[in-house]
């Protein structure tokens, strides 16, 4: 009996000892931590993100008109200067339109000169001679018709001959009237309205020539910046639409880093934060810089990954970074950045 009571007492004492250790132990540990360093240690791991080195100045050169790409003068990797010719479009149709416009211009100018010069004396003399001839023909046709009328009354001719004589008289009368109208016009001179209309047509034709000649410059594609051709989007012989991209050019002298911060880390990076960057091309080298811009929105991941298991169906925040030194870096290099506080 005494042995049983002793066992129970030992169990109770052990339970109490375990409870004391569970409560007092952690408190003693935290007290010791405070004695040694104040606050508990905090992880020094920074926010990381994948990044790519890119040019701040990148342009996609397009065509201002629709046409056929006739000749490409540059290849990928070529350096170009601003204003340098990069490609030509086929100008055959454009040249045909210019020739047509020039012919119309010459025609309108000739007509205007004719109106401004007025009628020549020989023109008026020719018109008068035409009137005289037309009057003679009309008088002869009229006399013949009147004779046919008299003969028909005596039944000395046929109705067919009568009708033919009448038709010839009508035609002669029309010719006589037209000749008299033309002579009157020549004697009076050209109307000012006709001259003004001819001037307007000449001005319009000249403007058409100028416009079509100006369009020729649109058949030449030039570089807007100093840089390097990084992509030829179109090839010789392909058709291009208005505004269609033909080439991509970058300025390799103006680089920056574009990082994609995963959505779970949004809000942890701010403009001006210090950055450390590493890339596979230079193991062990650390590039330092700072955040220049934090975009106030998230979007689907843009950067490609060599990891076949990596998903693009995640949102990221775009961050621009400026480095203190870009030595060795080129456009398109991938890297890893660590954002520091």
Average pLDDT, the chain: 83
In whole angstroms, give the CA distance from residue 50 to residue 277.
10
pLDDT at 186 (0 to 100): 72
Q: Are strands 255-262 and 315-323 parallel, antiparallel or unpaired?
A: antiparallel
Residue 336's H or E segment, with its range, is: strand 334-340
pLDDT at 5 (0 to 100): 56
pLDDT at 226 (0 to 100): 94
**Is the distance from CB of 261 to CB of 47 less than 8 angstroms?**
yes
pLDDT at 87 (0 to 100): 95
**Is the distance from CB of 251 to CB of 82 less than 8 angstroms?**
no
Would you state the CATH architecture of domain 58-89+218-250? Beta Barrel (2.40)
pLDDT at 231 (0 to 100): 93
pLDDT at 135 (0 to 100): 92
What band does 31 get if pLDDT is binned at 50, 70 and 90? very low
**Is the distance from CB of 312 to CB of 251 less than 8 angstroms?**
no
In whole angstroms, give the CA distance from residue 110 to residue 19.
119
In the predicted structure, residue 23 carries a pLDDT above the cut 60: no
Q: Which superfamily, per CATH, for 47-57+252-340?
A: Efflux pump adaptor protein, beta barrel domain (2.40.30.170)
In the predicted structure, residue 337 carries a pLDDT above the cut 80: yes
Quote the Cα angle for 257-258-260, to 5°.
140
- Reported as a single tens digit per residue, the pLDDT across 96-107 is 999 999 999 999
Q: Between the CA of residue 76 and those of 28, 53, 99, 197, 330, what are the distances in Å?
A: 69, 19, 37, 55, 15
**Is the distance from CB of 73 to CB of 87 less than 8 angstroms?**
yes
pLDDT at 187 (0 to 100): 66
In whole angstroms, give the CA distance from residue 314 to residue 300.
6
In whole angstroms, give the CA distance from residue 172 to residue 90.
58
Cα 174 to its chain centre, rounded Å, is: 62
In whole angstroms, give the CA distance from residue 23 to residue 20.
5
Looking at 121-130, 140-149, 248-257, which range is the least confident one? 121-130
When pLDDT is averaged across residues 8-25 and rounded to a whole number, the result is: 56
pLDDT at 122 (0 to 100): 76
In the predicted structure, residue 38 carries a pLDDT above the cut 60: no
In the predicted structure, residue 12 carries a pLDDT above the cut 60: no
Of the candidates 123, 239, 230, 136, which has an alpha carbon nearest to the alpha carbon of residue 183? 123
What band does 116 get if pLDDT is binned at 50, 70 and 90? confident
Question: Between 290 and 306, where is the model more confident?
Answer: 290
In whole angstroms, give the CA distance from residue 104 to residue 46.
75
DSSP string, 225-251: SSEEEEEE-S-TT-EE-TT-EEEEEE-
In the predicted structure, residue 30 carries a pLDDT above the cut 50: no
Q: Is the pTM of this model over 0.85?
A: no
Cα 62 to its chain centre, rounded Å, is: 6
When pLDDT is averaged across residues 172-200 and rounded to a whole number, the result is: 83
In whole angstroms, give the CA distance from residue 114 to residue 107.
11
When pLDDT is averaged across residues 162-175 and rounded to a whole number, the result is: 93
Question: Between 186 and 249, where is the model more confident?
Answer: 249
In whole angstroms, give the CA distance from residue 329 to residue 277.
11
In the predicted structure, residue 28 carries a pLDDT above the cut 60: no
What band does 9 get if pLDDT is binned at 50, 70 and 90? low
pLDDT at 2 (0 to 100): 46
pLDDT at 43 (0 to 100): 36
Helix axis angle for 121-153 and 159-188, nearest 10°, is: 160
Of the candidates 208, 197, 220, 201, which has an alpha carbon nearest to the alpha carbon of residue 100? 208
In whole angstroms, give the CA distance from residue 188 to residue 184.
6
Contacts (Cβ under 8 Å, ≥6 apart) of 88: 69, 70, 71, 73, 219, 220, 221
Of the candidates 125, 91, 127, 46, which has an alpha carbon nearest to the alpha carbon of residue 219? 91
In whole angstroms, give the CA distance from residue 334 to residue 100.
56
- Reported as a single tens digit per residue, the pLDDT across 194-238 is 788 989 999 999 999 999 999 999 999 999 999 999 999 999 999
Looking at 39-53, 126-140, 154-168, 232-246, which range is the least confident one? 39-53
In the predicted structure, residue 302 carries a pLDDT above the cut 90: no
- Reported as a single tens digit per residue, the pLDDT across 54-85 is 999 999 999 998 999 999 999 999 999 999 99
């Amino acid at each position: 009996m005494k042995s049983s009571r002793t066992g129970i007492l030992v169990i109770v004492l052990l339970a109490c000892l375990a409870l004391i250790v569970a409560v007092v132990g952690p408190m003693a540990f935290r007290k010791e931590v405070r004695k040694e360093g104040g606050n508990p240690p905090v992880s020094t791991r920074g926010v990381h993100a994948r990044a790519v080195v890119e040019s701040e100045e990148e342009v996609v050169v397009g065509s201002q008109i629709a046409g056929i790409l006739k000749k490409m003068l540059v290849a990928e990797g070529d350096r170009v200067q601003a204003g340098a010719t990069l490609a030509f479009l086929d100008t055959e149709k454009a040249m045909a339109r210019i020739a047509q416009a020039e012919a119309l211009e010459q025609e309108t100018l000739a007509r205007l000169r004719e109106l401004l010069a007025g009628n020549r004396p020989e023109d008026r003399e020719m018109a008068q001679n035409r009137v005289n001839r037309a009057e003679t023909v009309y008088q002869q046709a009229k006399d013949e018709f009147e004779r046919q009328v008299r003969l028909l009354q005596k039944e000395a001719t046929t109705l067919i001959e009568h009708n033919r004589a009448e038709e010839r008289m009508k035609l002669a009368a029309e010719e006589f009237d037209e000749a008299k109208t033309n002579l009157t016009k020549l004697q009076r001179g050209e109307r000012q309205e006709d001259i003004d209309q001819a001037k307007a047509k000449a001005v319009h034709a000249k403007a058409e020539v100028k416009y079509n000649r100006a369009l020729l410059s649109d058949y030449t594609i030039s570089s807007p910046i100093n840089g390097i051709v990084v992509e030829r989007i179109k090839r010789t012989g392909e058709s291009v639409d208005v505004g269609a991209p033909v080439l991509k050019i970058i300025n390799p002298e103006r680089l920056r880093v574009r990082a994609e911060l995963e959505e779970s880390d949004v809000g942890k990076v701010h403009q001006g934060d210090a950055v450390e960057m590493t890339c596979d091309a230079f193991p062990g080298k650390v590039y330092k810089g700072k955040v220049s811009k934090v975009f106030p929105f998230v979007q689907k991941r843009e950067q490609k990954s060599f990891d076949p298991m990596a998903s693009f169906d995640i949102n990221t925040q775009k961050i621009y970074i400026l480095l203190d030194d870009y030595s060795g870096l080129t456009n398109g290099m991938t890297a890893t950045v660590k954002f520091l506080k």
